[in-house]
């Protein structure tokens, strides 16, 4: 059941991550025939909570509001990586899980759940920037730094900022069906679904070095996903030897040219399946896979669903 939802705040809460939870669960969309959640914000640090952006919030509820929640969401905060958390909050989270409630963290909110002992023996994620700190502070956790969210019911952890939207919509889809989740996403003007196993895009940063050669090649690669290219051809475009190019590419993107372009092709295929009526064969050609069988093979490995089932799930049976 997903009816009673509470977001719990601490000093230093990030406004965007709080806004994500409020937008998904706190907005009355009954005019569209959508479910209305009994939503409230609670504070673990007193009625006045200072945000990471420098302004303060006046919060009506304390920790007692968590006692009846079906879902407790913990948005990120600027100091959550290193601070200690109120024992009363940790106790309230443990009691909630014991009585069958769910807990969900956005970005660094995962440190609160870890401090409560709710992640022991579970797979979790966080923003890739915090993954090393999370592993160091809680070495018994299985941290997956390259995914958007992990559902280890009754605990859901998500990566930074927009990945929190994905995790919240995933839970809505799970409890209230894909139609409700898709209609909420449409109202929010966000993609209706990104699979939890999708990468956090840490394979796509532009290089930090001043030369910009790999950066220029990345731009070219993204514009020519439908073409077959070799490392030798990419190296020539960057005016490097293949060995130097491969090493520089790994250093500056965190992956190999093959894996990078494969991931971008899958991402483009997801977009085309969601946003167009093109056939799977046509999409295979546009994304550089060549044929439907190759697209299906790589799509299933990356997303965990076939292109047809992905389209059917997120656009309805008639689209497939």
pTM for this predicted structure: 0.67
pLDDT at 275 > cutoff 80? yes
Task: Tell me the per-residue pLDDT of 193-247, one tens digit each, with 9 for 90 and over.
Answer: 565 555 554 433 444 444 456 888 988 998 999 999 999 999 999 999 999 999 8
pLDDT at 1 > cutoff 90? no
DSSP for 270-284, written as a single string: HHHHHH----HHHHH
Task: Tell me the per-residue pLDDT of 148-165, one tens digit each, with 9 for 90 and over.
Answer: 899 999 999 999 878 999
Closest CA to 151 of 122, 130, 112, 127: 122
CA atoms within 13 A on the CB side of 150: 20
Contact predicate 284/294, CB 8 Å: yes
- Of residues 171 and 319, the one with the higher pLDDT is 171
Q: Dig out the tokens for 21 from the structure.
A: 């939870």
**Number of neighbours of residue 175 by Cβ within 10 angstroms:** 16
* Total residue length of the chain: 320
CA R_g for the chain: 21
Q: Could you tell me the domains of the chain?
A: 4-188 (3.40.50.880), 203-320 (1.10.10.60)
Task: Tell me the per-residue pLDDT of 45-81, one tens digit each, with 9 for 90 and over.
Answer: 999 999 999 999 999 999 999 999 999 999 999 999 9
pLDDT at 320 > cutoff 60? no
**Number of neighbours of residue 11 by Cβ within 10 angstroms:** 18
């Amino acid at each position: 059941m997903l009816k009673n939802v509470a977001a719990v705040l601490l000093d230093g809460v990030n406004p965007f991550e709080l806004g994500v939870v409020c937008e998904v669960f706190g907005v009355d969309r009954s005019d569209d025939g959508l479910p209305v959640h009994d939503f409230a914000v609670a504070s673990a640090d007193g009625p006045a909570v200072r945000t990471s952006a420098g302004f303060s919030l006046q919060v009506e509820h304390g920790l007692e509001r968590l006692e009846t929640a079906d879902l407790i969401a913990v948005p990120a905060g600027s100091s959550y990586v290193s601070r200690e958390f109120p024992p009363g909050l940790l106790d309230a989270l443990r009691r909630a899980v014991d009585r069958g409630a769910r807990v969900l963290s956005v970005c660094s909110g995962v440190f609160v759940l870890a401090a409560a002992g709710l992640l022991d023996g579970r797979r979790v994620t966080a923003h890739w920037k915090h993954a090393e700190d999370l592993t160091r502070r809680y070495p018994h956790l299985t941290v997956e730094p390259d995914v958007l969210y992990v559902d280890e019911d009754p605990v859901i952890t998500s990566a930074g900022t927009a990945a929190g939207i994905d995790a919240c919509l995933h839970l809505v889809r799970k409890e209230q069906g894909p139609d409700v989740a898709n209609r909420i996403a449409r109202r929010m003007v966000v993609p209706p679904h990104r699979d939890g196993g999708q990468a956090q895009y840490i394979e796509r940063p532009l290089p930090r070095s001043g030369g910009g050669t790999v950066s220029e090649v990345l731009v070219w690669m993204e514009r020519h996903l439908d073409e077959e290219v070799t490392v030798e051809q990419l190296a020539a475009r960057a005016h490097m030897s293949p060995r130097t190019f491969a090493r520089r590419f790994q250093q500056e993107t965190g992956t190999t040219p093959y894996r990078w372009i494969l991931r971008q092709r899958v991402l483009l295929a997801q977009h085309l399946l969601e946003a167009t009526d093109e056939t799977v064969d046509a999409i295979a050609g546009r994304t550089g896979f060549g044929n439907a069988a190759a697209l299906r093979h790589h799509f299933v490995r990356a997303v965990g669903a076939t292109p047809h089932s992905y389209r059917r799930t997120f656009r309805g049976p008639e689209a497939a």
